[in-house]
Amino acid sequence: MNLTQTSVLARKAIIGGIAFLLIALVTKSFLIPAGRQAYKSLFPPKDPPNPIYGKLSAPKFEQKKVLNTDTVFELDTKTGKLPTGLPNKMAVYRIDPPAFSYEGGKKASDTAKALGFSDTDLVSDLKGDTYVWRNNTLGRELKIQINTKYLSLTTNVSDKSSVFSSGGSFSEADVKRVTNGFLNQTGRVLGNLYSAGTQKIMFGRFSGQRIIETDNPSGAQVAVIDYYRKIKDTPVYGPDLDKGLISIVVGNTDNANMKYVEAEIKNFEINGQSNATYPIVPVSQVWAAVQQNKGVMASVNPDEQSDFGTYSPVSIQKILITEVELAYYEELEPQKYLQPIYVFKGFYTSAGSKGSVAIYYPAISGDYIQEVDTPTE
């Protein structure tokens, strides 16, 4: 074969390669999507999604701070694979907006009195939406939003360890009995979704002026109970996976003013009946995004940090995901709709640190989520 023949063959090969690439590009960009659309038109799904609420607001997650951005993510489930059989659509539920109540102020005042606050402890303006009581002698503060019924109770216990017992009975049954008394006194009745949900109890004891976790209930001085809702067998989580949207700290004490140490109650009404369904992103696509560190760190529990309810940021080198589930996400502020998310649970390791983690990622296809406006300078 001479040089002329070789040159002709080379040109033919280049032209053929370009033609192949063009055909492949046209096929991928136009023919395959058109074919899929035609197939869907000829053979529509028997039970398609019903996104009657239109585009939803993007979930407002709260990220736990991590000191590095080069974390490696690996799958470590029982099967070594992502779960199968997950739904391709899920219901979206309405959340009833808070209703104005003419008796909201009176009910808030009655709640304050039931918790040991007097009229002279009121430090807020009665014309506002939020009432605040403060007892400086006991180091206690109570906030109640009269329309949303949001309640926050805090107590400075740094110098009050002697008030709480370090012995005697303080079982999970005792904790539930005391917290039920708190809910009854404050008029916070738990609905069916909380009855179907779970409760998590953690015991604590004083170490100097701080409280640390303990596995021994008999020696515990305080305990926190977190309440989680469940709707149609699917759990409902808040911004922090480790904290229920109803969270109450109770003390092991006979002192009536210190029996209820802390509380935070957010309890918007979820309408459990819904005809709205939205398509769910395949778990494989979400996992790929999580591996690129695009998920939201909703929980980080270092083994070496034993403070009761506090977190100090750590570095995370590797995360082993042991469980993947679909759940519903509820924000701290009023929202219109309760929508599903993916939750990745597992453990992390790092130099001198290890613990448990949980990662959130939106589950609804981005086609059904409103774009967030980016501020312009």
Asked if pLDDT for residue 374 goes beyond 50, the answer is no
Average pLDDT over residues 228-240: 95
Please state, in angstroms and rounded to a whole number, the distance separating the CA atoms of residues 191 and 270.
10
pLDDT at 212: 87
User: ∠ at Cα 261 (146, 306), nearest 5°?
Assistant: 120
- Residues above pLDDT 90, as percent of the chain: 62
H/E element, 62 = none
Least confident of 67-71, 112-116, 163-167, 335-339: 163-167
- Dihedral sign, Cα of residue 236, residue 242, residue 243, residue 249: positive
pLDDT at 39: 46
Please state, in angstroms and rounded to a whole number, the distance separating the CA atoms of residues 141 and 135.
6
Banded pLDDT at 376 (limits 50, 70, 90): very low
In angstroms, the Cα distances linking 224 to 68, 204, 266 are 31, 8, 16
pLDDT tens by residue, 22-59: 565 655 555 555 555 554 455 455 679 999 999 999 99
This prediction's pTM:
0.83
Tell me which residue of 101, 115, 243 sits closest to 184, measured CA to CA: 115
Please state, in angstroms and rounded to a whole number, the distance separating the CA atoms of residues 15 and 72.
44
pLDDT tens by residue, 158-186: 888 888 886 667 899 999 999 999 999 99
Q: How far is CA 169 from the centre of its chain?
A: 33
Please state, in angstroms and rounded to a whole number, the distance separating the CA atoms of residues 9 and 174.
88
Residue that has been written with the tokens 């995004």 in this structure: 289
Residues 6+ apart with CB under 8 A from 290: 73, 321, 344, 359, 361
Q: What is the DSSP string of 250-308?
A: EESSS-GGGSEEEEEE--PPB------EEEBPPHHHHHHHHHTT-SEEEEEEETT--BT
Banded pLDDT at 334 (limits 50, 70, 90): confident
pLDDT tens by residue, 2-14: 545 556 555 655 6
Task: Decide: 283 and 83 in contact? Cβ < 8 Å.
Answer: yes
Q: What is the DSSP string of 136-170?
A: TTTTEEEEEETTT--EEEEE--TT-GGGS-SSS--
Task: Decide: 138 and 155 in contact? Cβ < 8 Å.
Answer: yes
